[in-house]
Amino acid sequence: MPIAPSSAPQPSLNAVLTHFHDLIVPLWQGPGWNAELALPYEALDADHRPLPPQRYRAMACARQLYLFASLIGEPGAAFAEDRAAALFRSLQRHFHDAEHGGWFYSIDPAGQPLDKRKDLYTHAFIIFACAHYWAKVREPLVESVLNAALEVVAQRFASGDGLYEAVLERNWSSLKSGPLQNPLMHLAEGFLATLAVRADAEVQSALLALATAMQQRFIEPQHGVMMEKPLGAVDNWFEPGHQFEWFFLLESSDVLRGTPLHASLTRAFAYAEHKGVDKQTGAVSGMLTLDGSVRDGTQRIWAQAEYLRALTLRPGSEAVLRRQLLALQQRFLHAKGWNECLDAQGSVSRRDMPSTTPYHLATCYQGLVKVLG
């Protein structure tokens, strides 16, 4: 059932925040926590039972580290510091590659390395999580891990043109993956998180070089949209959710605001909103082709959250923001958690609840609190 009463469909930030703190966070303290491995299960079913584990990803551990780090010092969250510390230890114990450096992609259910490749997405989230965690605890070991992740990215993943390889072999040999949009966006997010907690000329330089290279290699000039693969790649597309996510990062950054990439994503926001958001239901489509036709109409909760967060920085969007908050409450949040995905017709297509989703909700709600109080 939706958490907003159907008899009085009014968006309520308080209801959403209560739902998050009283229901969603406890899911990952209790049923979502594998105490033996000190890791979150990858997902819970609709009745809060862990799905049979196939793997545990470093990225999921890092996102949960961010989640609990963000709660440190909050009223009623005395548990957060211990859980964040456990997640930080697990990130190192289970995923760090002592032989070659960097972090493995995943381990198996017994805790042994599974996918030993080194992917940029994972390392970007380790940077992001450690920056936020260090901001709260200021422990030297946390900053040393942050520094190690930044160094690995600069020395191993960088391709010399401002961009970074998406994935490498365990020993850092090339898989000829080339750059991909999504890990690069989260790397920018990690760089921004680092700059929020300390002055860092190298990170700022890398961030600006990344923004310049993204503008050159990934931005389709007609509408300013950020494509998922470099321009000219076969079978390319764009995702409205990623336009909104990029817009928020750029608009909220003193370093990136005013860059050509910021101008592009400001245009892309309008195009993605026009072509990829249903004006009646607030549904955000999953994937679009460049002409704006829907390639995948799946409605994912993360894209809803990113659109809602981006609206907080979009002038004149107050009415749309209220519509989207109500849409999130009524169509995605419910008394036992959340719907991960709806199909193009609005029916629930995924009821499982991945451990990675609360990161999107937490960042969205932080944006909402700043604007709506």
CA nearest neighbour of 308 among 222, 234, 241:
241
Range of the domain at 298: 236-373
Q: Give tens-digit pLDDT for 9-68.
A: 788 999 999 999 999 999 999 999 999 999 999 999 999 999 999 999 999 999 999 999
Residues with Cβ within 8 Å of residue 243, at least 6 apart in sequence: 225, 226, 265, 268, 269, 271, 272, 276
Work out the pLDDT band at 143, boundaries 50, 70, 90.
very high
Structural domains in the chain (count): 2
Alpha-carbon span 130 to 153, nearest angstrom: 14
Say yes or no: 54 and 158 in one domain: yes
Q: Looking at residue 354, which CATH number applies to its domain?
A: 1.50.10.20
246 within a domain of the structure (yes/no): yes
Which CATH number fits the domain that encloses residue 145? 1.50.10.10
Give domain status of residue 16, yes or no. no
What does the alpha-carbon distance between residue 101 and residue 274 come to, in Å, rounded to a whole number? 45
Same-domain status, 57 and 142: yes
Q: Is residue 207 part of a domain?
A: yes
The whole-number pLDDT of residue 2 equals 58
Condensed to tens digits (0 to 9), the pLDDT of residues 290-333 reads 999 999 999 999 999 999 999 999 999 999 999 999 999 999 99
Residue 213 and residue 241 in one domain: no
- Say if residue 372 is in the same domain as residue 281: yes
Q: Considering the domain boundaries, does residue 162 fall inside one?
A: yes
Total Cβ atoms within 10 A of residue 347: 10
Same domain, 201 and 69: yes
Answer yes or no: do 204 and 73 share one domain. yes
Considering the domain boundaries, does residue 208 fall inside one?
A: yes
In this structure, which long-range contacts are made by residues 145-150, counting pairs with CB atoms below 8 Å and at least 24 apart in sequence?
145/88, 145/91, 145/92, 146/194, 148/101, 149/103, 149/123, 150/194, 150/202, 150/203
